[in-house]
Amino acid sequence: MTLCLGSVLVRFGHLIRLPISVADATVVGMAGDPVLYFNDVADRYDEAAPFFASFARETATALGIGRFAEVLDVGAGRGALAKEALTHGCTEVIAVDAAPRMMQLLARERTRIGTAVMDAQRLAFRDLAFDAVVSAFVIHIVPDPQQVMREMVRVVRSSGLVAVVVPGRADDLPDPWDDPIRPIVNDFRRHFADGHGRHAGGNYADEEALLLEAGLRDVQGVTVEVRLPVSNGEHYWQWLTSHGAGAFTQGLPGTARSEFRRRVTAAVDERPGFCIRRSAAVWCGRRHGR
């Protein structure tokens, strides 16, 4: 079965649960502003430095993703993790995201990945449809992470894998390296009403608790790390503003944004051989059943 949502080609086969119209498909799983933001940065997403591609490689290896035939990637962005699933031998991979431009660009690559614009809180698939359901750098910025988790669990098969990836370490300890940009970011948080500058609709959910509350078994977390060189401060700035962290800079008042850019680029330029170093926690569990 082949469906066409606007300009996005979708391959669902027997997995579809509900008929999808373009109107239905554009209902978002995050608050409106983040979706618009990610739609706007889609053409630059992961282009300045292969940040998500690098994390996807680490995540796919940590999960042993190649053990699973049919995989769903929720909030897939430009498809970094979905592509790794194919590379590792998964035979049917579907990527969904709330940002239409992300899915349009992934579909244009003409990979074997099925694509659709879809609400993470209302996945349009039948129950027990996939061997594994994964979601990287999404669950912490949705307004209702419990509902997203319920949907992920609903569409995974018995004994299937559910996994989410979030910034930070699985043990909640600080990264064991110096990050000269972090103090600058912390200094500029004062410009936000919440004192943080999180995505609109973001949350403070505990991912381990989410998986346990959803009834998953064998829940565990592992930390993965990436290290990416940048050529200078401007290169770092282009990377910073091409993914979710760029929403922080957009939220700053104009004069503060200019000062923030000056301090960030200067901090990088003062350190020849500077590398982006980040960690992420990969949390996973299995649905009960045989």
Question: How many domains does the structure of the chain reveal?
Answer: 1
* pLDDT at residue 26 greater than cutoff 60: no
Read off the pLDDT band of 30 (50, 70, 90). Answer: very low
* pLDDT at residue 120 greater than cutoff 90: yes
Read off the pLDDT band of 197 (50, 70, 90). Answer: low
pTM of the full structure: 0.89
Tokens of 187: 């200094």
In a domain, 235, yes or no: no
CA-to-CA separations, 146 to 207, 215, 228, in angstroms, rounded:
10, 12, 33
* pLDDT at residue 198 greater than cutoff 80: no
Read off the pLDDT band of 3 (50, 70, 90). Answer: very low
> CATH no. for residue 140?
3.40.50.150
Q: What is the DSSP string of the chain?
A: -EEEETTEEEE-GGGB-S---HHHHT--SS-HHHHHHHHHHGGGTTTSS-HHHHHHHHHHHHHTGGG-SEEEEET-TTTHHHHHHHHTT-SEEEEEES-HHHHHHHHHTT-SEEEEE--TTS--B-TT-EEEEEEES-GGGSS-HHHHHHHHHHHEEEEEEEEEEEES-TT-PPPSS--TTHHHHHHHGGGSTTSS-PPTT-----HHHHHHHTT-EEEEEEEEEEEEE-SSHHHHHHHHTTSTTHHHHHHS-HHHHHHHHHHHHHHHHTSTT-EEEEEEEEEEEE-S--
Q: In the chain, pLDDT over 90 holds for what percent of residues?
A: 78
For 176-195, write each residue's pLDDT tens digit: 999 999 999 999 999 988 77
In a domain, 251, yes or no: no
Sign of CA dihedral 195, 196, 197, 201: negative
For 254-275, write each residue's pLDDT tens digit: 999 999 999 999 999 999 999 9
Q: Which residues contact 128 (CB under 8 A, 6 or more apart)?
A: 155, 156, 157, 158
What is the pLDDT of the chain when averaged over all its residues? 88
Closest CA to 136 of 163, 158, 161, 114: 163
In a domain, 66, yes or no: yes
Torsions phi, psi for 44 (to 5 deg): -105, -5
Q: Which residues contact 57 (CB under 8 A, 6 or more apart)?
A: 84
Domain extent at residue 45:
2-170+201-229+278-286
Instruction: Return d(Cα 124, Cα 156) in angstroms, integer.
Output: 13
For 206-256, write each residue's pLDDT tens digit: 999 999 999 999 999 999 999 999 999 999 999 999 998 898 998 899 999
Q: What pLDDT is attached to residue 74?
A: 98
* pLDDT at residue 131 greater than cutoff 70: yes
Q: What pLDDT is attached to residue 196?
A: 76
More confident residue, 10 or 51: 51
Q: Under a CB-based contact definition with an 8 Å cutoff, are residues 234 and 264 in contact?
A: no
In a domain, 80, yes or no: yes
For 104-114, write each residue's pLDDT tens digit: 999 999 889 99
For 73-86, write each residue's pLDDT tens digit: 999 999 999 999 99
* pLDDT at residue 16 greater than cutoff 70: no
Q: What pLDDT is attached to residue 8?
A: 37
In a domain, 154, yes or no: yes
Dmax (CA) of the chain: 58
* pLDDT at residue 2 greater than cutoff 60: no
In a domain, 159, yes or no: yes
Please provide the size of the chain in residues: 290
